[in-house]
């Protein structure tokens, strides 16, 4: 699957006229949503702004197209996360830091804290971050619907 993902992505980027230095594919041992395999793909390029787009819109679209092509070629459902020059990694770190800050606010002030609406992928990161032993006194729950779905943090 790694080679197939690299080949498809290379062809897509070339068709879009976007040059790249390297594409690395790794399977994440933790499962993606609905128990589909989770593939993390890193792309190194000098054209990261174009590839990422406004608030990541282009890279999210590329992920969707890649998953669709894989489904059509293999009839296999996979979960793909594409990172362009560390953009996604920086987002993940920012989300984890926000979750930790809000968790400390709940500990200090009680009540609950609701994070801003975010994608299922980033909500999952919040849930996983706050399931660590050091946050055993807190619980997280996804609340809301559609694009307004967010994570609520409260004491157990």
- Residue range 41-56, pLDDT digits in tens: 999 999 999 999 998 9
Phi, psi of 112 (to 5 degrees): -140, 165
- For residue 45, the surrounding DSSP H or E stretch is none
Three-state DSSP class for residue 111? coil
The mean pLDDT of the chain is 94
At 33, the pLDDT band (50, 70, 90 cuts) reads low
Domains in the chain, please, with CATH? 2-85 (3.30.300.20), 90-155 (3.30.1370.50)
pLDDT recorded at residue 38: 87
At 142, the pLDDT band (50, 70, 90 cuts) reads very high
Neighbouring-strand partners of residue 20: none
The length of the chain is 156
The residues, any chain, with a CB within 8 Å of residue 49's CB and separated by 6 or more, are none
- For residue 13, the surrounding DSSP H or E stretch is helix 2-16
pLDDT recorded at residue 34: 64
Q: How far apart are CA 156 and CA 110, in angstroms?
A: 11
The angle formed by the CA atoms of residues 136, 143 and 147, to the nearest 5 degrees, is 130
Q: How far apart are CA 89 and CA 143, in angstroms?
A: 25
30 has pLDDT over 80: no
pLDDT per residue as tens digits for the range 46-86:
999 999 999 899 999 999 999 999 999 999 989 999 999 99
The residues, any chain, with a CB within 8 Å of residue 77's CB and separated by 6 or more, are 34, 36, 67, 71
- pTM of the complete model: 0.83
Phi, psi of 124 (to 5 degrees): -60, -40
């Amino acid at each position: 699957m790694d080679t197939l993902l690299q080949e498809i992505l290379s062809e897509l980027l070339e068709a879009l006229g976007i040059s790249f230095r390297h594409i690395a594919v790794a399977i994440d041992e933790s499962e993606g949503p609905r128990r589909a395999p989770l593939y993390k793909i890193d792309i190194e390029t000098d054209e990261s702004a174009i590839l990422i787009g406004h608030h990541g819109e282009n890279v999210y679209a590329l992920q969707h197209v890649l998953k669709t092509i894989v489904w059509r070629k293999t009839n296999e459902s996979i979960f793909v996360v594409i990172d362009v020059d560390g953009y996604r990694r920086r987002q993940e770190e920012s989300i984890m830091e926000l979750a930790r800050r809000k968790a400390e606010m709940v500990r200090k002030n009680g009540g609950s804290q609701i994070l801003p609406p975010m994608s299922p992928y980033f909500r999952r990161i919040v849930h996983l971050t706050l399931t660590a032993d050091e946050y055993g006194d807190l619980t997280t729950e996804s609340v809301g619907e559609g694009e307004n779905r967010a994570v609520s943090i409260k004491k157990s």
